[in-house]
Amino acid sequence: MSINELINQSEGRRLEFKGELPTNSDLAKTVVAFANDAGGEIYIGINDNPRQIIGLSEEELPRIEEQISNLIYDRCYPIILPEVSFLTIEDKHLIKVCIYRGSMPPYYLKDKGKLKGTYIRVGSTNKLADETIIAELERRRRNISFDSEVVMDKSADELDISGFKLLYKEKTGEDLNIQVLRKLELVKTEQDKEYPTKALLRHINKAANIEGVYTVSRWEYPVKAIREIIRNAIVHRDYSLTGKDVKVAIYDDMVEITSPGLLPPSIDYSAMESRQSDARNKVIAPVFKRLGIIDQWGNGLKMVAEEMKSYPEIDLCWKEVGLSFQVQFIKKNYQENTNMEDSADNERRPAQSTTQSTTQSTTQYTTQKLTEAQNMILSYLREHPEATRADLNSHIEGITVDGIKYNLARLQELGLLKRVGSKRYGYWVVLGE
């Protein structure tokens, strides 16, 4: 990719622009965050907002290079070796700092220590890692996964895994005895006693729920591709992030799958047609392969790319939302009946009387069952009529910004919600009460 193409990209997980050499702490945080994740590049001499090449003094380049190298050596631990190079574009001089994915995470700021100085990259920002994320980085350094850790609260023979044994027998034709459990690393021996790993204790014993991976209901969409993304979400999610679940949301215009945990650094959705394989959960993934949920390592995204060719009317989009990874299958030609916050439309549209609104709302409410998210939105707006989409997103768990936008439009379409006034200074009215 040429530098001209690069500077037209947005800052993100692996890219950052700086007009001048940033403060010591800012640069060190970015370097640490890149090393803890997928690596990244910092371009100095390019403003981000507005995006503009301003350049650096040619005479100052050697001094800045030495300053960057010394700063990274002095402030970051373990040692990070940057690759610093000079670029020239439009007769202006830039410095490129390339940070590679580290093999000894967690990386952190020396003066802050591991607990207060470990940063990760979330979108285009550096986020202070909590203890859960630090533990995951330490597992990555030791090349072990969360699901392979031993849980010593109960011995293996105290667990009721009869349902999983039946499923395993049905899918593989084999009995799930203690030898097989050991081979699959679902149990491990500690102090001459068998203990379950987290894969068995917390997830595999819930195997009856796995049936949902085998079925897909929405025929308008590429069902094989959706099934593969759901499989990936379940098999490769970050189970160390407690209190989070895989979410599948079905809207009028899209299907959305959200999986806890950022995309593994070695997986690139923009190169879907190539074979890619990186199992975050090194115990769960082989078990799912034995059960036939995973067909063949590395072929999943390639299969998704192939099926999408048969669905030109569907857009496949992916993005990182906080500490989650989200995939959307979106209908290209879907037209919403309502523009939820179009102030011009609100001002042009004649106001309905209270009686008309209530009648319409009551009629549609009895024929249309509301989702849990829609009920939560209505409940919040009753108490906070001036709330914005951002307010709703921050106060309602388990729903994305796009989900808020869709559900607000849907509630207006049903006649249960009305926007009064402009986008900036207006307020919401819950109807039919």
Averaged pLDDT for residues 192-216:
59
pLDDT at position 407 = 86
Among the residue ranges 116-120, 303-307, 320-324, the one predicted with the least confidence is 320-324
Please check whether residues 311 and 390 belong to one and the same domain: no
User: Which tokens sit at 397?
Assistant: 């768990």
The continuous run of DSSP H or E covering 325 comes out as: strand 324-331
**Alpha-carbon dihedral angle through residues 204, 209, 215, 220, given to the nearest 10 degrees:** -120
CA dist 352 and 381 (Å) reads 20
Where is the domain boundary, 301, 331, 361?
331
Residue 402's pLDDT band, with cuts at 50, 70 and 90, is confident
What global pTM score does this model have? 0.59
pLDDT for 109 beyond 60: yes
Grade residue 388 by pLDDT with cuts at 50, 70 and 90.
Answer: confident
Q: What's the first-to-final CA gap in the chain, in angstroms?
A: 58
Could you say which of 110, 127, 142 is where a domain stops?
Answer: 142
CATH number of the domain at 383, please: 1.10.10.10
Backbone angles phi, psi at 103, to 5 degrees: -100, 0
In the chain, what's the furthest Cα-to-Cα distance?
Answer: 78
> In the prediction, which pLDDT does 354 show?
30
What is the C-alpha to C-alpha distance for residues 100 and 382, in angstroms, rounded to an integer? Answer: 50
**How far apart are alpha carbons 261 and 122 in whole angstroms?**
11
pLDDT at 205: 39
Answer yes or no: is 269 within a domain.
yes
- Is residue 191 situated within a structural domain? yes
* 213 within some domain: no
Q: Which two tokens stand for residue 362?
A: 């009551």
pLDDT at 122: 85
pLDDT value at residue 107: 97
Average pLDDT over residues 66-80: 95
> Does the residue 393 lie in any domain?
yes
Distance CA 356, CA 249 (A): 32
- Angle among Cα 308, 313, 319 to the nearest 5 degrees reads 60
Return all residues near 130 (Cβ < 8 A) that are at least 6 apart.
none
DSSP 209: G
**Rg (the chain; Cα; Å):** 26
Asked if 175 and 105 sit in the same domain, the reply is no
Is 229 found in the same domain as 167?
no
| Shared-domain flag, residues 260 and 386 | no
Same domain assignment for residues 154 and 110: no
> Residue 353: what pLDDT?
31
Q: Is the pLDDT score of 62 beyond 90? A: yes
Number of neighbouring beta carbons within 10 Å of residue 416: 24
- Same domain? 135 vs 111: yes
pLDDT score, position 35: 97
Query: Count of domains in the chain?
Result: 4
**Averaged pLDDT score across all residues of the chain:** 80
| Residue in this structure with the two tokens 């100085």, named with its chain if needed | 117
CATH of the domain at 59: 3.30.950.30
Residue with tokens 């967690």: 106
Decide which of 331, 355, 377 is a domain's last residue.
331
Percentage, residues of the chain above pLDDT 90: 27
The CATH number of the domain holding residue 259 is 3.30.565.60
Whether residue 215 lies inside any domain: the answer is no
Hunting for tokens 């590395």 — which residue is that? 298
- The reported pLDDT for the residue numbered 356 is 34
Fill in the amino acid letter for 357: S
- 107 and 49 share a domain? yes
Bridge-based pairing of strands 15-18 and 40-44 is parallel
SS3 430: strand
pLDDT of residue 298: 64
**pLDDT tens figures, 207-231:** 333 344 444 343 578 888 988 898 8
> Are 10 and 97 found together in one domain?
yes
pLDDT band at 337 (very low <50, low <70, confident <90, very high): very low
Does residue 379 sit within a domain? Answer: yes
Residues 361 and 417: their CA atoms lie apart, in Å, by: 9
Task: Answer yes or no: is 103 within a domain.
Answer: yes
The dihedral built from the CA positions of residue 238, 243, 245 and 250, taken in this order, carries a sign that is negative
Whole-number percent of the chain with pLDDT over 70:
82
Q: Is residue 295 part of a domain?
A: yes
Q: What is the pLDDT of residues 119-138, one digit of tens each?
A: 999 888 899 999 989 999 99
314 and 425 together in one domain: no
- Most confident among 48-57, 343-352, 365-374 (mean pLDDT): 48-57
Quick one: 38 and 116 in the same domain?
yes
pLDDT value of residue 333: 78
**Do 422 and 354 belong together in one domain?**
yes
Whether residue 101 sits in one domain with residue 18: yes
The H or E element that residue 355 is part of is helix 354-367
Cβ neighbours of 10 (radius 10 Å): 10
In the predicted structure, residue 233 carries a pLDDT above the cut 80:
yes
Q: Give the domain range for residue 291.
A: 221-331
Note the pLDDT of residue 105. Answer: 95
